[in-house]
Amino acid sequence: MTEQTARHELSLTRIIDAPREKLYRCWTEAELLKQWFAPLPWTTSAAELDVRAGGTSSVTMRSPEGEDYPNVGVYLEVVPNERIVFTDAFTSAWVPSAKPFMVVTIQFEDLGGGKTRYTATVLHWTAEDREAHEKMGFHEGWGQCTDQLAALADRV
């Protein structure tokens, strides 16, 4: 990692007691994603996923007060059961978004014995965006969502 990348990156790594195929399903099947994607008491009220390079995603998170926060983006790379890369820099069909914020890489590394090294890496356009995301609670929120993901993967 370069110094420039370090100033723009946030990352979370966990060993999850579930095979990577289950974790991948939880990321790529809308009905499963809706069950874990937002840190409780927030919920995911809607999810539409076209999981392929160039495909779009639309995920709406709902606050405890009932306010909806839509998140739209485009998948840049999809390697089943290994890696998903997506960004909010585009909304659909390569249409630029008003304010690009991040590129997310989700890695699923098979450790054998039904265990997976799960790594979520978020690169931000600016160091200021990275800092804002960290202050918004990146580690707590993404950590809680990862716990929710692991619990769901154990049941699917």
- CA-based torsion, 11, 54, 152, 109: positive or negative: negative
Q: What is the pLDDT of residues 141-152, one digit of tens each?
A: 999 999 999 999
Mean pLDDT calculated for residue range 47-68: 97
The token pair that represents 28 in the structure block: 């790529």
Over the chain, what is the mean pLDDT? 95
The angle subtended at Cα 25 by Cα 19 and Cα 30, nearest 5°, is: 155
Domain definitions of the chain by residue range: 3-155
In this prediction the pTM is: 0.94
pLDDT at 71: 94
Tell me which DSSP letter residue 97 carries: P
CATH class held by domain 3-155: alpha beta
Q: Is the predicted pLDDT of residue 3 greater than 70, yes or no? A: no
The token pair that represents 139 in the structure block: 């580690």
Count Cβ atoms below 10 Å from residue 102 Cβ, excluding itself: 20
Q: What is the pLDDT of residues 103-130, one digit of tens each?
A: 999 999 999 999 999 999 999 999 999 9
Mean pLDDT calculated for residue range 48-53: 97
